[in-house]
Structures are given as C-alpha cells and as structure tokens.
Amino acid sequence: MSEANCIFCKIVKGDIPAAKIYEDEHVLAFLDISQVTEGHTLVIPKNHHRDLFELPSEQASQLFSVIPTIANGLKAAFQPKGLNMVNNNGEDAGQTVFHYHVHLIPRYGQGDGFG
C-alpha cells in the first residue's frame, strides 16, 4: 500500500534516494535528511499508514521488533552516550510527514543539538 504524493512511500519505492541503514520485508530505516544529531534515523513501515492511530498492531509489532537491532547498529556506528526514541502523531504534535515513523536520535551529551 503506497500513497502517490507521500515522500516516504517514494523512498520505499526507490523513486527518491535515502541513506538506508536497515531494510527487511516490512520495515525500512534511513538517515533523516535534517540530522538533529549525528546518526538521526527514521524507522518506517513500508506500507503507508498516516500515524499511530491508523497503524495496525501487526505493523507496529514488525516495526518495534527490529528497533533494538537498529538502535544497536547506531550505537556501534556512532558511539552515542544515549538515544531518544520520538514519535510525533498529528500536526499539533509536530508531525510533518504523514507516513508513520519513529525517530531514533543518538545523544552525545549536553549541547549535542537536541532537547
């Protein structure tokens, strides 16, 4: 399932490039185009769902089951001191791309640019 004008569906289809860091049948992770901190990553279901309210449980299970693997990959690659997992749902919550996604934001200590 994809939506014609969705930028993340276009990344899934390969119509626009992204720096992919994890991919399986159901899930894709790639670097955010605007890095809040080094290694800032977005994890998405390959199918289009607008937000958490519309995300089927099965898709949530598939996505969250690989998040520890992705987080450990980021830990090994970037050696952060910590990591924030953030998910905005709805315009009023700060969502700007309406294809469900989780932000993984590696943290490097005070002044690293986030929070």
Contact positions toward ligand 5GP, by CB under 6 A? 7, 18, 30-34, 42, 88, 94-97
CB atoms within 10 A of CB 36: 17
> From Zn ion, ligand 5GP, none, which one binds at residue 9 (CB under 5 to 8 Å depending on kind)?
Zn ion
DSSP secondary structure of 57-99: HHHHHHHHHHHHHHHHHHHHHH--SEEEEE---SGGGT--S-S
- Rule CB under 5 A: say whether 48 interacts with Zn ion: yes
The partner residues of 41 in beta bridges, in order of sequence, read: 31, 104
- Binding at 99: pick from ligand 5GP, Zn ion, none (beta carbon under 5-8 Å per type): Zn ion
Residues 9, 42, 63, 105: which binds Zn ion (CB under 5 A)?
9
Q: Is 26 a catalytic residue?
A: no
Sequence-separated (6 or more) residues with CB below 8 Å from residue 13: 2
* Annotated catalytic residue within 48, 99, 101, 103: 101
- CB-nearer residue toward ligand 5GP: 10 or 75: 10
Stated length of the chain = 115
- What residues are annotated to the active site? 101
Binding site for Zn ion (CB under 5 A): 3, 6, 8-9, 48, 99
